Amino acid sequence: MPTKIEVRALKKSFTSDKGVLPVVEDVSLTVQDGEFVAIVGPSGCGKSTLMNMIAGFIQPDAGSVSIDGAARNRPDSRGILISQQGSVFPWLTVRENLMFGLNGHAIADKREIAEHYADIVGLKGFEDSYPHELSGGMLKRTELARALVVKPEILYMDEPFSALDALMSLRMRNELLRILAKERHTTLLITHDVEEAISLADRVVVLTPRPTRIQAIFEVPMPHPRRLVSPQAQELRLTILSELGLEREGL
């Protein structure tokens, strides 16, 4: 598989009145085309900052990000970011949201594409609803569909399901797997949920506390659909948790 994302020696610190706060300290990472990489780390470790640099929203102090071998400095529609708070436009209907990113298509084509993806994520019949009329889960589906519509090569997901209740979060996980099996995007997922990382990712990257660097990387050599209760998955979970500083005996 060719290399999709090449992250080289990224560094970032923020300056405030309290002084300079180093947040990301020398992170290098290579993601293959079509690969699903999950990044886990303690809260406040700089996961989101790292993701924002990779997606092009924040410029690093040092280091570089290249996509398909070309340097990336700013965000574009080849890689769509889905964040925890969500950014579905509340003043547009579901359909208008889905059509938002489609430039240079005829209006009839836009409608057709939007309808297709609304169908894929299970929003059929809600195309004319406004976001405030939808549940949290449906809002996430809208956000996901809006991203898929532009056929991005990369999905950047920053704790996408952590604002949902546990049941809906599980359901969205399965939906995501189902969709990715069809469309095969390269995916970068930030999460604090080790189980979520194991159930979705091909590789799990564990970050250190701030200023963050990569502490360990684990392969998840299990075919989908994965059974999280399998001994192999449980063993991996415990290993990752202990990397995150939790004592094995206490789990």
Binding site for another protein (CB under 8 A): 55, 57, 75-77, 79-81, 83, 85-87, 89-92, 96, 100-101, 103, 130-132, 150
207 SS3 class:
strand
Q: Which residue, 131 or 211, is less far from another protein as judged by CB?
A: 131
| Pick from 175, 182, 94, 96: nearest CA to 133 | 94
Q: Which residue, 56 or 211, is less far from another protein as judged by CB?
A: 56
8 SS3 class:
strand
In the complex, least distance from residue 247 CB atom to another protein, rounded to whole angstroms: 37
Beta-carbon contacts of residue 38 (< 8 Å; ≥ 6 apart): 189, 190, 191, 196, 197, 198, 200, 201, 203, 204, 205
In the complex, least distance from residue 98 CB atom to another protein, rounded to whole angstroms: 11
Q: Which residue, 101 or 209, is less far from another protein as judged by CB?
A: 101
Q: Which residue, 127 or 243, is less far from another protein as judged by CB?
A: 127
- What is the C-alpha to C-alpha distance for residues 149 and 142, in angstroms, rounded to an integer? 10
In the complex, least distance from residue 211 CB atom to another protein, rounded to whole angstroms: 24
For the beta sheet containing 214-219, the strands, ordered from the edge strand earlier in sequence to the opposite edge, are 79-82, 154-158, 186-191, 36-40, 203-207, 214-219
Q: Which residue, 143 or 175, is less far from another protein as judged by CB?
A: 143
End-to-end Cα spacing for the chain: 37
In the complex, least distance from residue 144 CB atom to another protein, rounded to whole angstroms: 13
